[in-house]
């Protein structure tokens, strides 16, 4: 079955009504949506059915993280400080979605200003567990079957981690591939638009539309992969370690050492991210922000300019080092855990993003695939990281692995 036949329902009104029925059934428990205008959505679907196909996403509903500006729906950025905020124009990526024929399903829950303080969303697989963040609602809405595709963002682990926790495909392209015009700026060195779907092909289709590129041909590939335990393997839950090690051995993946600079990436990422968060949010009323975000802003504003520049330089140097590393090892992608384990119990935290930081710091394309599960039965993603700028090769490797598993 082609990517388009999987992604494009016909007619649109019929698909939208089925999705809205699914929303009625599961949204009271999952709480993935901030705004969902049913009447406006049905009008979009009716218009799609009355018109010739407009593009590769004609009639396909897409959820948008609530830090992405929409001219016809509020964009409130997960903070009371922006309650009722109504942009006057669509973000560039929303314009591209509409040009491709997509329907804006609604706005999905984000954590506070896309940082760490959680929203109300629950994991569709177990409502007592977090869905991850900061793209909580986007991942959960796709996992719960309320929308086939959704857009999120990642600055540290905000696409890959919730994809892993919710058991869907989460794809973060190479840095800069998808424009961020009209998207909340948090840390411009690392902010990246990403996507959620139920297949690699659909994720690739959505990302291509957002990047205004031709849909990539994911021709069959027998991927050359290697395995890395991750910067924080000693913190990975024992059942996740066992699942990862069994998968590594089943795939016959050799373990590899990474380029110089990976060992300091976690701390350097934090320094740059918090310094830029401090700059971005310094003017906000901090008494209305979480203690977590207040701390990030305060630490960020104390960061010396020399330390900030050193971190930015190190990120670019590591990106270049990885390009040489991929050449030397002849690999299509590097495999590693997408998270420290399955979704943690409780809703006070969205989980630790440390396993996703390496790709975010170096701006490398990365994808989380729902290939494993923990002892508790909850999903656990395998992360693949690719060479900067070679997103297609990463996606081909990911598609082959997921097809093999299914």
Where residue 50 sits, what CATH number does that domain have? 3.90.1300.10
Q: Among 377, 386, 379, which residue's Cα sits nearest to residue 336?
A: 386
Burial of 348 from C-beta contacts in 10 A (0-12 / 13-18 / 19+): exposed
- Which neighbouring-strand residues pair with 193? 153
Q: How far apart are CA 153 and CA 347, in angstroms?
A: 20
First to last CA, the chain: 14
For residue 358, the model assigns a pLDDT of 98
Low pLDDT (below 70) residues in the chain: 1-10
Report residue 240 as tokens: 């996740």
Q: Is residue 403 part of a domain?
A: yes
Domain count, the chain: 1
For residue 3, the model assigns a pLDDT of 36
Q: How far apart are CA 102 and CA 74, in angstroms?
A: 18
Question: Tell me, what DSSP letter sits at residue 234?
Answer: G
pLDDT tens for residues 352-363? Answer: 999 999 999 999
For residue 406, the model assigns a pLDDT of 84
Whole-Å CA distances, 65 to 34, 107, 154? 9, 6, 11
Q: Among 45, 1, 21, 32, which residue's Cα sits nearest to residue 142?
A: 32
Q: Is residue 299 part of a domain?
A: no
CB of 363 within 8 A of CB of 319? yes
Q: Is residue 352 part of a domain?
A: yes
134 catalytic residue (yes or no): yes
- Which neighbouring-strand residues pair with 384? 335, 367
Q: Is residue 297 part of a domain?
A: no
Q: Is residue 254 part of a domain?
A: yes
For residue 10, the model assigns a pLDDT of 58
Q: Is residue 267 part of a domain?
A: no
Q: How far apart are CA 47 and CA 45, in angstroms?
A: 5
From the candidates 134, 135, 164, 187, give the one annotated as an active-site residue.
134
158 catalytic residue (yes or no): yes
What residues contact 259, with CB distance under 8 A and at least 6 apart? 318, 321, 322, 324, 325
Report residue 126: phi and psi, to 5°. Answer: -165, 110
pTM across the whole model: 0.96
pLDDT tens for residues 194-227? Answer: 999 999 999 999 999 999 999 999 988 899 999 9
Indicate the pairing of strand 61-65 with strand 149-154.
parallel
Q: How far apart are CA 141 and CA 133, in angstroms?
A: 13
From the candidates 135, 136, 138, 158, give the one annotated as an active-site residue.
158
For residue 48, the model assigns a pLDDT of 97
Which structural domain range is residue 333 located in?
1-259+317-406
Q: Is residue 264 part of a domain?
A: no
2 catalytic residue (yes or no): no
CB atoms within 10 A of CB 132: 34
Report residue 390: phi and psi, to 5°. Answer: -110, 55
Q: Is residue 279 part of a domain?
A: no
């Amino acid at each position: 079955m082609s990517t388009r036949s999987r992604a494009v329902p016909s007619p649109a009104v019929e698909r939208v009504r089925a999705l809205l029925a699914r929303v009625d059934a599961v949204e009271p428990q999952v709480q993935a949506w901030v705004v969902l205008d049913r009447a406006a959505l049905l009008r979009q679907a009716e218009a799609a059915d009355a018109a010739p196909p407009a593009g590769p996403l004609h009639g396909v509903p897409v959820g948008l993280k609530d830090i992405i500006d929409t001219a016809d729906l509020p964009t409130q950025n997960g903070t009371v400080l922006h309650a009722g905020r109504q942009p006057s124009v669509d973000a560039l990526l929303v314009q591209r979605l509409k040009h491709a024929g997509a329907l804006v399903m609604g706005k999905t829950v984000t954590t506070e200003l896309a940082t760490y303080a959680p929203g109300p969303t629950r994991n569709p697989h177990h409502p007592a567990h977090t869905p991850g963040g900061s793209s909580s609602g986007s991942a959960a809405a796709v996992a719960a079957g309320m929308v086939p595709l959704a857009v999120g963002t990642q600055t540290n682990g905000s696409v890959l981690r919730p994809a892993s926790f919710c058991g869907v495909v989460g794809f973060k392209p190479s840095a800069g591939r998808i424009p961020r015009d009209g998207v909340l700026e948090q840390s411009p060195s690392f902010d990246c638009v990403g996507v959620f779907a139920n297949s690699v092909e659909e994720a690739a289709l959505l990302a291509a539309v957002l990047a205004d590129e031709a849909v990539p041909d994911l021709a069959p590939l027998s991927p050359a992969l290697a395995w890395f335990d991750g910067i924080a393997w000693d913190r990975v839950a024992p059942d996740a370690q066992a699942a990862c090690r069994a998968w590594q051995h089943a795939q016959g993946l050799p373990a590899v050492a990474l380029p110089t600079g990976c060992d300091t990436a976690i701390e350097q990422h934090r320094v740059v991210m918090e310094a830029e968060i401090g700059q971005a949010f310094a003017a906000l009323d901090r008494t209305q922000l979480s203690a977590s975000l207040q701390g990030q802003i305060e630490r960020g504003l104390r960061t010396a300019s020399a330390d900030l520049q050193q971190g930015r330089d190190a990120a670019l140097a590591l990106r270049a080092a990885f390009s040489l590393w991929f050449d030397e090892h002849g690999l299509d992608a590097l495999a590693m855990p997408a998270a420290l384990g399955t979704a943690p119990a409780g809703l006070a935290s969205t989980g630790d993003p440390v396993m996703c930081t390496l790709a975010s710091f170096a701006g490398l394309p990365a994808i989380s695939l729902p290939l494993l599960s923990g002892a508790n039965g909850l999903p656990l993603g395998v992360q693949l990281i690719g060479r900067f700028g070679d997103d297609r090769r990463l996606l081909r490797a990911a598609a082959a692995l997921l097809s093999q598993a299914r």
